[in-house]
Amino acid sequence: MSKKKIASPKAVTFSEKIKANHNDELLLVNKRLAQQIEERKKRAAELIIANTELAFQNKEKENRAAELVIANAELAYQNKEKEKRAAELIIANIELAYQNKEKEKRADELSIANSELIFQNKEKEKRAAELVIANTELAYQNQEKENRAAELVIANKELIFQNKEKEKRAAELVIANKELAYQNKEKEKRAAELLIANENLTFQNIEKEKRAAELSLANKELEAFTYISTHHLQEPLRKIQVFSNRITTDEYQNLTEKGKYYFDRIEVSASHMQALINDLLTYSRTNVTEKTFENICINAVINKVLENLKDEITAKKAIVQLSGNCKAYIIPSQFEQLIYNLISNSLKFSKLEKAPHIIIETLYTKTKTKKKSSADYCHITISDNGIGFDPQFETRIFEMFQQLNSKTDYKGTGIGLAIVKKIVENHNGIITATGKLNQGAKFDIYIPVA
């Protein structure tokens, strides 16, 4: 194989362009040849037609013969041209085959060069990977050395720290021993003081028991005195009321106007005295009555009281709203008295120009007062739109004989709310009052559920 210089890309491109031009010329030659063959067929058809016409038209024979000679001459010329084009096409095909062989050689050489380049790249990658692994291992070893050095430093520091801690613990132990000895002495002193305190406490407890017994006896005597006094007071009061009724029936028309006025005042005072004695009896009964608790629906008690006050509610054209429902262990008779007193107050202390509106709610809740407890309570609220009271009397309102309003405008004894508070205390409950002048009053009662 003769050695040839590798053609430059520009020479190869020019050669390819020449080949492309030859290919185009060959295609044109082929097309022309096809056209000529087609023309031949047409001419042959025309010749057949002409020969047919020649048989019928003698005059046209010579003209057609001349044309046939010309056509044959042209056909001979065309055949020569075709032979030339065929020779050129053969030369072009030979040249194209040679160029293809050259291309295949160059492709083989390029493939060998690429294979060698790929092999060299793979070798380089292997060397690079080995270098990376070696560097990683070296870095790891350096890191391990640094870790060991750091651990050694930490261990030395910890050892120093532990030695210092041991010294501190030893010092603390010495101090603790001294302190323990001191505490033991103090404990002995406290034990001696505690013995003295226990003796004093025992003496105080004995004294408290004596005082409690004396107080209990005094309370019983006071309750008995109150109960007996009110019963003894009722006898002369009944006589006053009886004789007053007789005078009203028999002698009232004989009295002067001034006498009638004084007599009316006597009857009013007797009626007030009767109410006062009844309230005192009720108050004393809250202490002496046997406390039998029953698990009762609060709304049932309220409805019973509302039924008893039906006439007063109708007369005042009052609106009473009851909502909620809860049960609690209560003393039924006392609780009826409690509800009765509060609703009666709402009716009594209502505005003249406005119908009373009383709202009663009974709900389970936790107490919101200062008294801390996790137990469940039945929370009863009774609020109205009456005349209310000054907020400064929120606590004083529950004291005995406290009347915040004029006795002539609002009749009462000043014991009703004291009875209410006593009944709530009998139930281990809490009661609070809030109000504003001319804006109504509200009573919150908390009774333990169990």
CA distances from 317 to 151, 187, 310, 407 (A): 93, 75, 10, 23
Neighbours of 276 (CB within 10 A): 18
Q: What is the CA radius of gyration of the chain?
A: 66
pLDDT digits (tens, 9 = 90+) for 383-439: 998 888 877 767 777 775 555 554 545 555 567 788 888 888 888 899 898 888 888
* pLDDT > 90 fraction of the chain, expressed in percent and rounded: 38
Task: Answer for the pair 390, 404: CB distance below 8 angstroms, yes or no.
Answer: yes
Residue 205 has pLDDT above 50, yes or no: yes
pLDDT confidence of 65, banded at 50, 70, 90?
confident
Taking residues 353-357, what's their average pLDDT? Answer: 88
Helices (H), 320-435: 332-348, 416-426
**Per-residue pLDDT reduced to its tens digit, 295-349:** 889 999 999 899 988 888 998 899 999 998 888 988 888 888 889 889 988 888 8
Predicted confidence band at 1 (pLDDT cuts at 50, 70, 90)?
very low
Core vs surface per residue 377-391: b (16+ CB within 10 A) or e: bbbbebbbbbbbbee
pLDDT digits (tens, 9 = 90+) for 217-239: 766 766 666 666 556 666 676 77
Alpha carbons 356 and 321: distance in angstroms, whole number:
11
H or E stretch covering 229: helix 59-250
414: region left, alpha or beta (phi > 0 left; psi from -120 to 50 alpha): left
Q: Return the pLDDT at 253.
A: 78
211 or 76: which leads in pLDDT = 76
Q: How many whole angstroms separate alpha carbon 354 and alpha carbon 317? A: 9
**Model confidence band, residue 380 (pLDDT cutoffs 50, 70, 90):** very high
Least confident of 115-124, 151-160, 247-256, 410-419: 410-419
Query: What is the pLDDT, as a whole number, of residue 225?
Result: 63
DSSP secondary structure code for residue 290 in this structure:
-
Query: 230: which residues sit within 8 A by CB, 6+ positions away?
Result: 277, 280, 281, 284
DSSP state of 87: H
Question: What φ, ψ does residue 355 adopt, rounded to 5°?
Answer: -65, 140
Task: Return the pLDDT at 67.
Answer: 87
Q: Are 331 and 299 in contact (CB under 8 A)?
A: no
pLDDT of 276 > 90? The answer is no
pLDDT of residue 2: 47
State the pairing for strand pair 357-365/430-435.
unpaired
Burial class (CB in 10 A: 0-12, 13-18, 19+), 421: buried
Q: Which of 141-145, 242-246, 299-303 has the lowest mean pLDDT?
A: 242-246
346: DSSP letter: H
Q: What contacts 24+ positions apart, CB below 8 Å, involve 344-347?
A: 344/309, 344/312, 344/416, 345/416, 345/417, 345/441, 346/318, 346/382, 346/384, 346/386, 346/441, 347/309, 347/312, 347/313, 347/316, 347/318
Question: Tokens representing 271?
Answer: 């009626």
Which helix (H) or strand (E) segment holds residue 446: the answer is: strand 441-448
Q: Give the residue carrying structure tokens 């004695």.
A: 277
- State the average pLDDT over residues 97-112: 93
HSE-up of residue 173 (Cα within 13 Å, Cβ side)? 6
Taking residues 139-157, what's their average pLDDT? 92
CA 262 to chain centre: 74
Answer yes or no: are the C-beta atoms of 247 and 263 closer than 8 Å: yes
Asked if residues 333 and 282 have their Cβ atoms less than 8 Å apart, the reply is no
- CA separation for the pair 199, 214 (Å, rounded): 23
What's residue 374's pLDDT?
45
Give per-residue pLDDT as tens, 81-101.
999 999 999 999 999 999 999
| Distance set, CA 105 to CA 6, 18, 96, 252 (Å) | 10, 20, 14, 159
With contact defined as beta carbons under 8 Å apart, do 360 and 423 qualify?
no
